[in-house]
Amino acid sequence: MTVLINNITFDCGDARKLAEFWANLLGWQVFYDDDPEVLVTPHFPAHGATTLLFIPVPEGKTAKNRVHLDLEPTDVGRDAQVEQALALGATLVGDHRKEDGTGWVTLADPEGNEFCVERSTSERPAPGTKAWRLG
């Protein structure tokens, strides 16, 4: 038996504001499907496509995420993606970049949800090399 991940859902205080942050960060589109719920997707919502769903709730975030997104930039490097996220309103949680270029950066969106930015494919060693296996 198999299933599709339909939505990755964020409980939040301001669904539209948080959806706009994620849409701008990912280069995706915002859809106001079932107001007050807001959907963010890379294209027009379609069956089988994983989307981000933002649902307003009255309580705020009180603890560290147990699940988070790891983002891999596709058209810029990791450092440029981190700078873009910060410019959009993210905050730095932890910088795990190393001098050899490995590592990641942990950020939080405007409502405190953690996510990580990893190296882009172009910044990684070629598959099959010793450096690739070491990360």
Q: What structural domains does the chain harbor?
A: 1-58 (3.10.180.10), 67-135 (3.30.720)
* Closest among 22, 50, 16 to 36, alpha carbons compared: 16
Q: Tell me the two tokens of residue 28.
A: 């995706």
Neighbours of 106 (CB within 10 A): 16
Q: pTM for the full model?
A: 0.86
What is the identity of the amino acid at 44?
A: F
The model's pLDDT over 54-71, given as tens digits with 9 standing for 90+, comes to 999 999 888 888 899 999
The model's pLDDT over 66-88, given as tens digits with 9 standing for 90+, comes to 899 999 999 999 999 999 999 99
